[in-house]
Amino acid sequence: MKINEIFYSLQGEGKYTGTAAVFLRLSGCNMKCWFCDTRHEEGTEMTEEEIVENVCQYPARHIVITGGEPTMQLNARLTELLHREGFYIQIETNGSIALKEGTEVDWITCSPKGNEIRIQRIDELKLLFLPEYIEKYKDMKAKEYCLQMLDEGKSFLPSPSIISYIKENPQWRLSLQTHKLIGIE
């Protein structure tokens, strides 16, 4: 598998905000979003066993597998090994690719970017606060619904319009990029 980076931090977005987690960023993505803030093209080849050995050095047993687009590489062998080591597996995906057969994850955060959804389920729907995304995905079934401001390098704080929208549509929660607010990775 091609790994962009592995690091230990706090989850900064969505339901698990503030949770200590190991982040496994896989290289590559099937979309070219103009607003992407992740350099996911580069990476180092690692086996599933090497990945697990690396992530086990951290005390937390919550892992966030992200990218790029993690479903391009994520497989049953890696999730099986991680579960054996006691990890709770969360993925952050655009939802455009279904999980490979046998790939078991505990929580799917789906943040679609205008694409069709092919992921098997959505636990947390996390949308950028863009009218076209809200219109397209507002009726998707999920356990949690989060809205997030588009980070254009101006401010990480919510606009009055997102606050008003959430007050009018209380099934949505505000998701701040707290990792950026507090200056951690």
E runs forming strands in 107-163 = 107-110, 124-128, 144-148
Confidence of residue 31 (pLDDT cuts 50, 70, 90): confident
Which one of the listed residues 62, 66, 71, 179 is annotated catalytic? 179
Which one of the listed residues 35, 38, 151, 185 is annotated catalytic? 38
pLDDT digits (tens, 9 = 90+) for 84-111: 999 999 999 999 999 999 999 999 999 9
Active site residue 56: no
Mean pLDDT of 11-29: 94
pLDDT at residue 177 is higher than 80: no
Average pLDDT, whole number, for the chain?
90
Which one of the listed residues 7, 36, 49, 185 is annotated catalytic? 36
- Beta bridge partners of residue 69, listed in sequence order: none
Mean pLDDT of 108-132: 94
Structure tokens at 49: 């066993």
- Which pTM does this prediction carry? 0.89
pLDDT at residue 24 is higher than 90: yes
Q: pLDDT value at position 127?
A: 94
Active site residue 106: no
* Rounded-to-integer distance, Cα 57 and Cα 177, Å: 26
Confidence of residue 23 (pLDDT cuts 50, 70, 90): very high
* Rounded-to-integer distance, Cα 108 and Cα 144, Å: 10
pLDDT digits (tens, 9 = 90+) for 134-176: 999 989 999 999 998 876 555 566 778 889 999 999 999 998 7
